[in-house]
Structure 1
């Protein structure tokens, strides 16, 4: 598939065929491509939790959804839970603080104030986008979604995730299901180049 087609076809899919697992070789390509994302100082302060078995996925949904979610988002959850593969990208801030305290970098104090922009989250986000684009190129569907603030501790506990790693979101991957409902947010329309690009000055 041409790269321009991959970009145009990328969208968040919220329903999956539960009977078609993601082939192992495709799963590995998703992860390998993520590692080609840029990272400040080549810090590579990211990690990826891969959940594939029914038990792992059930534990994930139990840890990351509340009773209120069950009541108010039931249809969304039912369709999302069909995804045969969940990848949780996690950022690791300390990897960046320590990398920039090395002799070829300017700081030795591990002070987070040197970082007005949290590149550990940004770089992990770019790795996530590479996985989303790879999924399209492989003929798969995917959706990036978040974990609510109050669900982070249960998620960490359920999977033994170290406290110094932060789940910046989750990526559901699989083959698209029959329900092709789009997000109602899309009714807002895509902003055009003329609205968002400022040439030369604001």
Structure 2
């Protein structure tokens, strides 16, 4: 598939065929491309926890359910659709890898002061790796969805999957073969065009 077609076809898929597992080769392709993402200082402070077994996926959804104590609560349609994904990839960033890398002799920030960083590149770089996973999924004939993990659930997810505490879960990618489902109301907003978002030479100059 041509790259431009991959980009055009990429959209957030919220419902999957639970009876069609993601081929191992497709998962491998997603991860191989993820590590091609740019990273500051080539720090590569990212890790990915891949959940494909029914038991692992159920542990994830249990750990991220905010309403487990509410017997009357039921998942909304969006959540129900996500849970049909036969693969979930947790995307984790490692800030310490960046602080250590920039304390190396060729960088020289020996104080490891986080204040030197204008933005958290460890999270940004992991986000770019997640986007490569999404694009590769499209190229493999799959659908994907990037979504956040509720902050109050992070401790439970760390514990459930042995993720080191110094690693931040920036989000997760659900993946599988797409099936038709309800459209997201967000789509009614429409996509901003390049002419609307590009500012030539000065902000506000379109």
Q: TM-score range by the shorter chain?
A: over 0.9
- Indicate which of 74, 79, 82 corresponds to 1:80: 82
Q: 1:21-170 to 2 correspondence within 5 Å?
A: 21-67=21-67, 71=73, 73-170=75-172
Stretches of structure 2 lacking an aligned partner (at least 5 in a row): none
1:192 is displaced (CA, Å) by 1.5
1:66 is displaced (CA, Å) by 1.4
Tell me the TM-score normalised to structure 2 length: 0.94
2:11 equivalent in structure 1: 11
C-alpha separation between the residues in 2 aligned to 1:154 and 1:108?
Answer: 34
1:73 is displaced (CA, Å) by 4.0
C-alpha separation between the residues in 2 aligned to 1:73 and 1:4?
Answer: 36
Q: Say what the alpha-carbon RMSD is for the aligned residues.
A: 1.4
**3-state DSSP of counterpart to 1:185:** helix
Stretches of structure 1 lacking an aligned partner (at least 5 in a row): none
Q: Is the 8 A contact 1:64 1:155 kept in 2?
A: yes
C-alpha separation between the residues in 1 aligned to 2:80 and 2:29?
Answer: 27
CA offset digits 1:16-59 (Å, max 9, x no partner): 00110011111100111000000000000000000010000000
1:200 equivalent in structure 2: 201
**3-state DSSP of counterpart to 1:172:** strand
C-alpha separation between the residues in 1 aligned to 2:35 and 2:195?
Answer: 33
1:72 is displaced (CA, Å) by 6.1
Q: Is the 8 A contact 1:144 1:170 kept in 2?
A: yes
**3-state DSSP of counterpart to 2:146:** strand
C-alpha separation between the residues in 2 aligned to 1:145 and 1:182?
Answer: 16
Structure with a larger share of its residues in helix: 1
CA offset digits 1:40-93 (Å, max 9, x no partner): 000000000000100000000000111179836432222111100000110000
User: How many aligned residue pairs are there?
Assistant: 201
**3-state DSSP of counterpart to 2:127:** helix
1:178 is displaced (CA, Å) by 3.3
Tell me the TM-score normalised to structure 1 length: 0.96
